[in-house]
Amino acid sequence: MTLPKNFLWGGDISVTQIEGGWSEGNKAPVETDYLISGDKNTPRYAYYQTQDGEIVKSLQFSGKIPKGAKYVLKEGKIYPNHFATDFYHHYKEDIALLGEMGFKALNLTVSWARVMPNGINGGINKEGVEFYLSVFKEMQKFHIEPIVTLYKYDMPAFYITDFGGWSNRQMIDEFVAFAKVCFKKFKKYVHYWVTFNEINILKMTIDGEKDATVKDKQRTFEELHNQFIALAKAIRLAHEINPKNKIGCMICGLFTYPRTCNPEDILANQKYEEDNLFYYADVIIRGHYPSYAKRVWKEYRVDLQITEEDKKILASGKADFLPFSYYFTNCISEDASQKSTLTGITSNTSNKNPYLEETQWGWQIDPKGLKYALEMFSDRYDNFPLLIIENGIGAIDKLEDDHTIHDQYRIDYHREHIKALKEAVDDGVNLLGYTMWSCIDLVSAGTGELRKRYGFIYVDIDDQGQGTFNRYKKDSFYWYKDVIANNGDNI
């Protein structure tokens, strides 16, 4: 079970969760900058002010606020993404640490709000472009391949307040213009691109809203369609600008098993996979909506206006590889007594697997499920190139007096998942790499916590923004360094 010599070992970071410097360098605010901190039981909210002066809470990533309303910062609330773990001022130190580990690749976001803070009309922010050029030059020193994600819930907030978010088709042109700037400005350094992060999150969010109306569902599917058109146009453009470019779109890994062998559970699980995985991957890879899309639209009572020109665009902008996240699996049952809601999946038919252990945040640990996911995708899409772009365990780490961090649980987690991916590769899966989440501690997107740590590198900062921002190597740092050095032969 020897992995290819060019296997992309590395990690993953996200602008809004790691960068900080939220108002520096002419960067525009993004929706995440208005999200307060939460925890595993408390969702994150933003506040906005209506035209009548009323202050209202809005669920994260909703992109849904009334016309004329503006996001506001509420006094006394903590906004963890403002400071994050300060990659903006520590990137040289951080990249050197990744280089010391022997990273072959790093998936990172280029912030739309830093490069084009005022959209097409405002033009290019030179300071933002120069920042990312400096980051890529540092990565080049250590022979780290950038895998750049263009959109990770970090578009300028005015697109939501003034444009109405992705339900406005004008967003397609705005995104493609931003992508074009990145493809040209960073052409020398970047050849792997990801258009959208976890594009299926949008539907997940609406599924989790108990009071979602037909209008809300219509808006969600319109937004998704506009994103499909935008990513297809971006893929085509990336290939035109540089034929060496490889570009994909990321799927959130919502992998499930039937709860029992009851045929009703088998069919329910099949439907869940179609609705939450294949609906997206089919469009991204095959360039058209699948046959069951009509069933999905009917069930959600939506009416999508898909033009012949839209169909041509989708067909001409197929991905080169499929990146996906993998954290846990879940079970699907049609038995009312088994139905529950799991934070992170927000499915009314989801329930936990009694054969699996779980993390401190309730996410079940299932390395074998990663092999299942890889082989399922590989079989469905004719051995299409895959990339595990996120996989990790959030845990509370203890910084000892001597600045060591003993995180054997993290080593155990990644070891078992790497074993599983090696088995899948041995079975013939075409896997490009493994960029775990996240190599450096950062703000949890779902909860806004900093104490929920994923990294091999510890950052001394707490949920209130108190600390030195000093970086310390965890035990897992040295373990992963050895894994990379022997290409996974000895884990």
Q: Is 470 helix (H, G, I), strand (E, B) or coil?
A: coil
User: How far, rounded to the nearest angstrom, does the alpha carbon of residue 138 sit from its chain's CA centroid?
Assistant: 24
C-alpha 407/C-alpha 454 separation (Å) is: 10
**Which one, of 151, 245, 155, lies nearest residue 196 by Cα?**
151
198 is a catalytic site residue: yes
Query: Of these residues, 198, 223, 334, 449, which one is catalytic?
Result: 198
Torsion of CA 163, 168, 169, 170, to 10 degrees: -10
Tokens 């990312």 belong to residue = 132
Residues 6+ apart with CB under 8 A from 263: none
Tokens 């034929």 belong to residue = 243
C-alpha 360/C-alpha 156 separation (Å) is: 33
Is 428 exposed, middle or buried, given 0-12, 13-18 or 19+ CB atoms closer than 10 A?
A: exposed
Cα distances (Å, whole numbers) of residue 57 to 47, 153, 279: 5, 18, 31
**Which one, of 350, 338, 356, lies nearest residue 276 by Cα?**
350
DSSP state letters, 12-80: E--HHHHT--TTSTTPPPBGGGGBPP-BTTB--EEEEE-TTS-EEEEETT-----TT-EEEPPTT---G
DSSP 8-state symbol, 276: I
User: How far, rounded to the nearest angstrom, does the alpha carbon of residue 310 sit from its chain's CA centroid?
Assistant: 25
390 is a catalytic site residue: yes
Query: Of these residues, 174, 334, 390, 449, which one is catalytic?
Result: 390
Q: Is 274 helix (H, G, I), strand (E, B) or coil?
A: helix
Please identify every residue annotated as catalytic.
198, 390
